[in-house]
Amino acid sequence: MLTPSDDNIHAFLDGRLSAREAAAFAAHVAADPGLRRKVAALWLTNQMIRGLGQNILDEPVPDRLTDTLRSCAAAAGSSSKA
């Protein structure tokens, strides 16, 4: 049985436990109102953190950055042939 440590709670929330461990941990969480509140609060925090900056990730890469990367790649390719 996994203890309700912060590491195990995060492993549970992140899906890093085996199916058997997750089921046992979920049963433990369901039986303990204090632990259930803690897990719910951490889950909500995780969701908010995952949402931060998402709009930036959905934006197209600026042309200036793409041009710079192409120039760097071309320069690296020509210097490796020398």
41-65 tens-digit pLDDT = 999 999 998 888 888 888 899 999 9
Instruction: Say if CB 35 and CB 29 are below 8 A apart.
Output: yes
pTM > 0.85: yes or no: no
Tokens of 14: 């992140």
User: First and final CA of the chain: distance in angstroms?
Assistant: 61
pLDDT of residue 82: 55
Q: Which element (helix H / strand E) includes 73?
A: helix 63-80
**Token pair 């710079």 in the structure block, residue:** 68
**Token pair 């934006």 in the structure block, residue:** 59
